[in-house]
Structure 1
Amino acid sequence: MAGRPSDAEVIEEVEAHARRRGVAGGPTGPGAEAPVWQVLLDFRIVRSIETRGERAMREPGSRDDIAKRPTYTAIGSHPVPAPTDPEEAGARLLVREGSLTEEQCADCHGGTNKCEACRGRGTRDCVRFVDCPLCEGGPDACWECEGTGRSRSRRPPHLRAGASAADRAARVRCARCRVPDVACPKCRGRRQLDCPACHKSGQVECAACSGGKRVTHQECRGTGRFTVWTEGWIHHNPHRARERRLGRLDLRRPTGNLGRWHETVLRRTTDKLPADLDESDEALLTPLLTPRKNEVARRATLRLLPLAHVRVHADPHRDYFAFPTHTGIKVITRPTTERFRHFAAIATASALLVALVAVLAVTSLR
C-alpha cells in the first residue's frame, strides 16, 4: 500500500520510543522484532434506491395545484435525474397525461344535504316545562296543597311537620291554593317552570344545522365536486452499509485521531477499489460494491490505515504499534493481551475476596 513506511524505519522509531520510556536493552538497543503489518479498515457506502408507482386519486373540490405538476406518459420510463447526494431522501409527484378531470358529487346537492337531525325543519321538538330545580317538582312545592291547588294537610302552615322559622320565612304565597308562606320561592307552588331553552314554545333551533335546514356534505367538503387524476410517484431513499476492521478497542481512538488514513471515494458503479489493496480486503469489500436493484446513485468511502505491531525484547509486557501520520511515524504502546488478562484475573480475585470477607463479617455478627 502506498505510503507504508519500511520495516527498518518502523524498527528505528519503535526502539527510539522504547528508550524514551526508559526501557533498557542490549548493546544494540532495546531489541525490536520485525513488524507484523495489519490494515485498519473503515468502509461505508450509501446508495440511493429509486421506487416508482401509480395510484388513483380523488380529492374534494377543484385542485388547481394538481394541474401545475409535471406530467408523464409511462411512469416506468419517465426520465428523472438521480439525486446529487445519495444521503438525501426525496419524492416526486406527477400526473399521468390526460387523467386530470373533475366530476360532480353524486351524494349531495351543490355541497349540502337535508339535515337528518331535524328532517329539514330547522327546529326540533322541546318540552315546554321543566321540573323546578329548587323543589324538584315534588310535593314540597307547596306545604299546603302539594302543588295540586287543593288543600291536603288541612292544617295551618305553621303546624306543618319540620317547618322551622327559617323555612317559613323563605316560603311565598302559593300560586295554586293562594295560601301565604307555604310555596317554593322558585316555582311558587306550580312544580314546573317554563323551559329555558324554548321559552315554553315547544320548539328549539336544530343544533346540527343551526336552523339552516341543510348541512355541509363532509365527503366533498361542501364543494359539490371532486378532482380526479392518476398520480405517479418516484421516491429516492438512502440505503446504507458498513464494514469496519479497527483492531483492538483500545487502539481505535488514537489511530482514528492521529493516523494518516488513506481515503478513496467511489461514486460510480464502474469505479474500482485501489489497485494496491490487499487481496483479503478486496474479497471482503467487492460484494458490498455490487450494484443493487433500482440503484441510481452511490457514494462509497474507503479509509485505510497500515498499522505495524512490534514486540520489544526488553519490554515483554507491552505491545508497540506504529503507524504513519502527517508528520512521520507515530508509536503508541498498550499492555499485551496476556498482561491485560493477568490484571483482569487479579481484579476479579480481589473482588471475590472482598465479597467473601464481607459475608463472613456479616455471619459473625449474627
Structure 2
Amino acid sequence: MAGRPSDTEILEAVGAHAGRRGIAAGASDPGVAVLSWQTLLDFRIVRSVETRGERAMRQPGTRREELADRPTYTSISSHRITPPADPSRTEVWLLVRRASLGEEWCEDCDGGTNLCGACGGRGGRECPRFVDCPACHGGPDSCWECEGTGRSRSRRPAHLRPGTTPADRAARVRCERCRTSDAACPKCRGRRQLDCPDCGKSGYVQCGVCAGTKRVTHQECEGTGRFTVWTEGWIHQNPHHEKERRLGRLDLRRTTANAGRWQETVLRTATDKLPDDLDEADRTLLTPYLARRDGEVARHATLRRLPLAHVTLPADPHHVYYAFPTHSGIEVTTRPTGERVRYFAVIAAASVAVVALVAILATLLLR
C-alpha cells in the first residue's frame, strides 16, 4: 500500500515509545518484536438509481397553462435526462407525452352544476309553522288551570292542584288562554307552542345546501364542467447508500480517525478502478460493490484506508503497541492485551463479590 511506513520505521517508532515508558525493548533488533499489518477501511458508495413510468391523468378544469412548462417526450423509456451532479439528491421529473394533452366535457353535470339533491331543485322546503315549547314540551304543564285549552280542565281538588304553594306560583305567569294568573309556563304563556325559529311561522325555509339557488356545484369537476386529460411520464432519481467499514478496535477508533493519515480514493463512474496497491483480500471484499445496479445513472464512491501496525514486545508482555502514519510522522499508542483485560476483570468481579459478602455478613450480625 502506497504511503505505508516500512517495518523498520514502525519498529524504530515503537522502540522509542517503549523507551519513554521505561522499557528497554530493542524493538528494532532482529527477532525481538512481532509485527503484523491490518488495513483499516471506510468505504461508502451512493448511487442515483432511476425509475420511469407513465400514467393517464384527468384533472378538473383547464390546466394547459399549468402544463405548458413541462418537458414533453415521445417514449418515456428512451427520453434523455441529465444524471444528477450529486447522486445523494432525490430528483423528480414530470413530463407530458406529445399530442396527449386535451380537454373533455364533464358528462355528470350541466356546465359545472347540478340540481340540488337536498331540496329537489326547489330552493327550499316546507316547514312546520309552530314547534312544541321547549320548557313545558307542549303538555298539560303549559297551564296548570286549562292545560293549554283555554278552559279549566283540572278535576283535582284545589289543594291537590299544582302551584298551590306561593313558591310554585311565583315561577309561573298569566295564561294567555284562560287568563289565570301565576299558572302558565313562562316560555309559551299557556299556548303549548312557539313560532318556529327556522321559518318565522311562514311555513317555508330556504335550503341550507344550495342557499336557495336550486343548484349545487359539481364537486368532481370543481364546477368547471370540463376536465384536462393527458399522459404523464415520470422519472425518479433516488439515492441508494451502501458501505463497508473495518475500523479496528473500538478504543482506537477516535485516535486513528483524528490523527491518522488516511488515503482517500474517489470513484465516480462504473469504469473507475480500485487502487492498484489495494490488498487482494480487500479488493475481493469491495469489488462486488462496484458492479453497476439496474437503473443506476450516477455514483459517488469514497474509499479511505489507513495502515495499522500491530506490534508485541517480549519485554512488555502485557501490552500491545499500535502504530500508524500521521501527517507529521508515525504515532504509537499502547493498549493492554486481552489476557490483561480479562485478568483485571476477574479481580474486579472478585472484589465486588467480597464487598457484597461483607455487607451481607454485617447485616446478619446487626440483626
Q: TM-score band, normalised by the shorter chain?
A: over 0.9
Return 287-296 or 149-158, whichever deviates more: 149-158
Aligned twin of 2:45: 45
Counterpart of 2:49 in 1: which secondary structure?
Answer: strand
Q: CA deviation at 1:184?
A: 1.7
Question: Retained in 2: the 8 A contact 1:172–1:188?
Answer: yes
- C-alpha deviation, 1:250, in angstroms: 1.1
CA distance in structure 2 between the partners assigned to 1:61 and 1:363 by the alignment: 89
Q: Which one-letter code corresponds to 1:107 in the other structure?
A: D
Distance 1:11 1:198, change over 3 A: same
The match for 1:15 is 15
- Any residues of structure 2 matched to 1:67-106 within 5 Å, and which? 67-106=68-107
Do structure 1's residue 252 and structure 2's residue 227 form an aligned pair? no
Query: What is the match of residue 243 of structure 1?
Result: 244
Compared CA separation, residues 61 and 335, structure 1 to 2 (3 A): same
From the superposition, tell whether residues 80 and 26 of structure 1 become closer, same or farther in structure 2 (CA, over 3 Å): closer
Q: Distance in 2 between matches of 1:93 and 1:176?
A: 77
State the 1:67 CA deviation.
Answer: 2.5
Moved more, 16-25 or 77-86: 16-25
- The CA distance in 2 between the partners of 1:28 and 1:246, in whole Å, is 27
| Structure 2 unmatched ranges of 5 or more | none
Decide which moves more: 165-174 or 275-284.
Answer: 165-174
Q: CA deviation at 1:57?
A: 0.5
Rounded Cα–Cα distance in structure 1 between residues aligned with 2:359 and 2:220: 75
Secondary structure (helix, strand or coil) at the match of 1:148 reads coil
Q: Distance in 1 between matches of 2:346 and 2:352?
A: 10
Using structure 1 for the length normalisation, give the TM-score: 0.93
Cα displacement string for residues 53-80 of structure 1 (whole angstroms, at most 9, x for unaligned residues): 0000011101121122110000000011
Could you say which residue in structure 2 is the equivalent of 1:339? 340
Residue 313 of structure 1 and its aligned partner are, at CA, apart by 2.1
- Aligned to 1:316, the other structure's residue is in SS state strand
Question: For structure 1, which segment, 128-137 or 221-230, has the greater mean C-alpha deviation from structure 2 after superposition?
Answer: 128-137
Ranges in structure 1 where 5+ consecutive residues have no aligned partner: none
Residue in 2 aligned with 1:5? 5
Contact 1:144 1:157 in 2 (8 A): no
Deviations 1:153-199 (A, max 9, x none): 26897873443213323433222222233222221111110011111
Alignment of 1:223-302 (within 5 A): 223-302=224-303
**CA separation in 1, counterparts of 2:44 and 2:278?**
16
Contact kept? 1:52, 1:232, Cα under 8 Å? yes
Residue 365 of structure 1 deviates from its aligned partner by 7.3
Q: What RMSD over aligned residues (CA atoms) do the two structures have, in Å? A: 2.3
- Which residue is equivalent to 1:166? 167
Superposed CA deviations along residues 233-275 of structure 1, whole A, max 9, x for unmatched, are 0110111111111111111110011100000000011111000
Q: After the TM superposition, which of the residue ranges 127-136 and 34-43 deviates more from structure 2?
A: 127-136
Q: Aligned pair in 2 of structure 1 residues 160, 10: CA closer, same or farther (>3 Å)?
A: same
| Whole-angstrom CA distance in 1 between matches of 2:306 and 2:28 | 30
The within-5 A match list for 1:202-217 is 202-217=203-218
Matched residue SS, 2:317: coil
Which deviates further from its counterpart, 337-346 or 20-29?
Answer: 20-29
**Structure 1 residue 344: Cα displacement:** 2.3
Separation in 1, partners of 2:328, 2:158: 114
Amino acid corresponding to residue 263 of structure 1 in structure 2: E
Specify the alignment match of 1:60 in structure 2.
60
**CA displacement 1:92-124 (0-9 Å, x = unmatched):** 000000000010100001111111011011112
1:21-36 to 2 correspondences below 5 Å: 21-25=21-25, 33-36=33-36
Q: Greater CA deviation, 318-327 or 125-134?
A: 125-134
Residue 305 of structure 1: aligned partner: 306
Letter in 2 for 1:256: A
Please tell me whether residue 317 in structure 1 is matched to residue 305 in structure 2. no
Letter in 1 for 2:301: A
The TM-score normalised by the length of structure 2 is 0.93
Query: Structure 2 vs 1, CA of residues 152 and 28 (structure 1 numbering), >3 Å: closer, same or farther?
Result: closer
8 Å CA contact 2:18–2:25 kept in 1: the answer is no
Instruction: Name which of structure 1's ranges 256-265 and 18-27 shifts more when overlaid on structure 2.
Output: 18-27
Residue pairs, 1:170-209, within 5 angstroms: 170-209=171-210
Number of residue equivalences: 365
Q: Deviation at 1:18?
A: 1.1
**Equivalent residues of 1:54, 1:233 under 8 A apart:** yes
The 3-state SS of whatever aligns with 1:257 is: helix
